[in-house]
Amino acid sequence: MLTEEKHAIIKSLVDSSTKEELIWINGYLSGIINDTSKNKTIDHNDAIPIGKKLTIVYGTETGNSKKLATDFATKAKKKHIQTKLISLDQYRLSDLLKEELFVTVISTQGEGEPPVAAQKFYDHIHQNGFKLLNLEYAVLALGDSSYPLFCKAGEDVDEQLLKLGGKRLASILKCDVDYEAEADAWFDLLLNGLNVKLATSSQVKDKSEVIVKKPAGKTIYQGKVLTHLNLNDRGSNKETWHIEIAADSLIYEAGDSIGIVPKNNETVVDSIIQIVKADPNTLVNYKSESVTIYNLLKHKLNISNLNEKLIKRYADIIKQEITVTKIDLLALLKIYPLQDEIQFIEVLQNLNPQSPRLYTVSSSPISTEGEVHITVARDVFFVEEETKYGVCSDYLSSVNENEIIEFFVQKNKRFKLPSEDKDIIMIGPGTGIAAFRGFLYEREAIAARGRSWLFFGEQHFDSDFLYQTEIQNWEATGTLTKVNVAFSRDQKQKIYVQDRMLNNGSELYQWIQNGAYIYVCGKKDPMSLDVEKTLIQIIQQYGNKSMEDATRFLEELKDTHRYHKDVY
Ligand SMILES: Cc1cc2nc3c(=O)[nH]c(=O)nc-3n(C[C@H](O)[C@H](O)[C@H](O)COP(=O)(O)OP(=O)(O)OC[C@H]3O[C@@H](n4cnc5c(N)ncnc54)[C@H](O)[C@@H]3O)c2cc1C
Ligand SMILES: Cc1cc2nc3c(=O)[nH]c(=O)nc-3n(C[C@H](O)[C@H](O)[C@H](O)COP(=O)(O)O)c2cc1C
């Protein structure tokens, strides 16, 4: 293919090059080949220092970090940088010692924890027993500023890599839910820094403030409420709403969630406007938008759960000390009145945007095309004996049929049905039943051959057996092979799903040994923790294993994707 003359030139170049130079030449050539948009030779300033490879790792729960890291890798490759992109659960931890340029994109989950897929990496770097002397790194943290521990996992990784001897290429960027533009700009600066010289902290600003909270890169659906039904009967302590929503061109799968940005309660909004004697039509500059006071309060702002930073800001505005640490805006205004509308506008401008809340879908598109169903528990809590309701679940409890709800689909790739011939064990008390209603509709629609076992629990059989008729029909028709229910308050001694699991321990272990997939959905604490302890106990008892071996056995089920959790 080459003339003899060109072949000789290449051979001579190869023979005289070191291994590192060959790696660089390899990247350089593949850059030229892959770059179809340019028909020119590459300026050497475009390339990063000879021999240095870029590794981009991501730790994700719902896919945002993966998408961002993939976009970064695509950009880097276009710049002819030899780039490796890898998920942290696939990453060989021993490779860390060899890394040179290392970018981590990681979200925060739970209460300031790393995503499950990043846990091993996170634990590894916290062991401290090694030095990363060649490492130059940067961390992009994804989070949501309405959580108290904003971007905590990213912060931890950033600090820990520094402690281990790494050098920062740029200071950490902590991104809120509308991260795309900001993250893009950060990575562009980082790449430029790599090409010319290493970016300094001042070049890449640590910007944790958001402009407007809009979930990045998501399709927003305009859903129409078809059905709105309280699943609890008279006498129940609870309100659990079954909501069916229709939307055009809807794409989701059973096991996914939908995200909804709530509207604030009208009475609360009116009370705030009255108490400060503000004109609801006054336009206010909020971040980069101009919005009326009413629309800000109703649609845009988190007015229900102010964090310490905001309370401190409020105290600065009124020049008075405030001792409370958790409060809503209305209560704050009542206890610490403002002087005028000007002060009120300043307060509004400092409030955080409203965050979306997630709800696991309780339907399958295979069974109800064009519709998504959710199962929402109205959240009740008490502040100094006053009854309060969670913002989004309260909003969803009071929507009307035919009303339009905006939502987006939050994919959950890890919470998916296995092939139809596999057995599944589903543990889902309370609203945890949502995911399994979706699974069972799907298994029914495809006439799955695998066996299905459901554990469901609530307070009372009479008033709280959510989706009772459907569950009993599935049992009668064989879509459900086995059902165990636990109604905690129907007898003196409390009985929970984990007790039913223990009662059926031997059979449960046989199902697991036979290849069954285990799913847990619902409250993280204490339910999913107790269920996990019980699973270990059953494996220990019926598998004749030590506690350590049983724990390892469950870990292996996790690693082989046979143990899944969708807990919150
Ligand atoms: C992946 C996922 C799936 C989920 N699926 C479901 C589901 O299927 N069904 C379901 O019902 N839920 C589900 N959730 C939970 C749901 O997203 C919401 O967290 C829940 O509905 C509560 O939101 P809220 O807006 O009603 O309450 P918020 O207003 O967010 O309040 C939540 C809590 O914060 C505290 N709080 C708020 N304001 C104050 C204050 N001023 N003072 C003191 N404390 C305060 C209270 O403890 C309150 O209970 C899921 C969550 C996740 C992450
Ligand atoms: C259950 C749950 C808990 C979360 N906890 C936190 C938190 O403690 N701190 C934070 O900054 N963000 C938190 N977030 C927000 C996520 O980090 C944010 O949505 C991020 O974009 C997710 O990225 P991923 O898809 O890569 O996981 C939480 C989100 C969920 C669903």
Using one digit for the tens of pLDDT, what is the confidence trace for 73-119?
A: 889 888 878 888 899 998 989 889 989 899 999 999 988 999 999 99
434 lines ligand 1 (CB under 6 A): yes
Of the candidate ranges 47-51, 201-205, 256-260, the one whose mean pLDDT is the lowest: 201-205
Residue 210, pLDDT > 50, answer no
For ligand 1, atom 36: residue with the closest CA: 305
* Closest residue CA from atom 4 of ligand 2: 109
**23 pLDDT band (50/70/90 cuts)?**
low
Does the beta carbon of 259 lie inside 6 Å of ligand 1?
A: no
Among all bound ligands, the one having the nearest atom to the CA of 373 is 1
- DSSP states along 480-529: SSEEEEEETTSSSS---HHHHHHHTHHHHHHHHHTT-EEEEEE-IIIIIH
Residue 106 has a pLDDT of: 98
The answer to whether residues 96 and 124 touch, using CB atoms and an 8 Å cutoff, is: yes
Token pair 């229709």 is found at 246
In the prediction, which pLDDT does 29 show? 64
* Tens-place pLDDT, residues 429-452: 999 999 999 999 999 999 999 999
Mean pLDDT of 504-528: 98
pLDDT greater than 50 at residue 205? no
**pLDDT, tens digit (0-9, with 9 covering 90-100), for 357-384:** 999 999 999 999 999 999 999 999 999 8
pLDDT digits (tens, 9 = 90+) for 399-410: 999 999 999 999
Instruction: Determine if ligand 2 sits within 6 Å of the CB of residue 111.
Output: yes
Nearest to 243 by CA among 252, 255, 231: 231
Q: For ligand 1, say whether the CB of 376 is within 6 Å of any of its atoms.
A: yes
Helices (H) and strands (E) in the chain, counts: 19, 21
Ligand 2 centroid to 471 CA: how many Å?
32
Judged on CB neighbours under 10 Å (0-12, 13-18, 19+), 400 is exposed
Ligand number with the minimum distance to the CA of 567: 1
Q: Which atom of ligand 1 is nearest to the CA of 412?
A: 1
- Are 213 and 357 in contact, with CB atoms under 8 Å apart? no
Nearest CA to 81 among 203, 194, 197? 194
Q: Is the pLDDT of residue 37 over 70?
A: no
pLDDT of residue 71: 93
3-state SS assignment for residue 154: helix
d(CA 435, CA 431) in angstroms, rounded, equals 9
Residue 20: band (very low, low, confident or very high) from pLDDT cuts 50, 70, 90: low
**In the chain, what percentage of residues exceed pLDDT 70?**
90
The closest of 209, 349, 338, 347 to 285, measured between CA atoms, is 349
64 alpha carbon – ligand 2 mean position (Å) = 10
Ligand 1 midpoint to CA 371 (Å): 23
Distance in Å, CA 392 to ligand 1 centroid: 7
What is the distance between the alpha carbons of residues 360 and 481, in angstroms, rounded to a whole number?
23
pLDDT of residue 214: 54
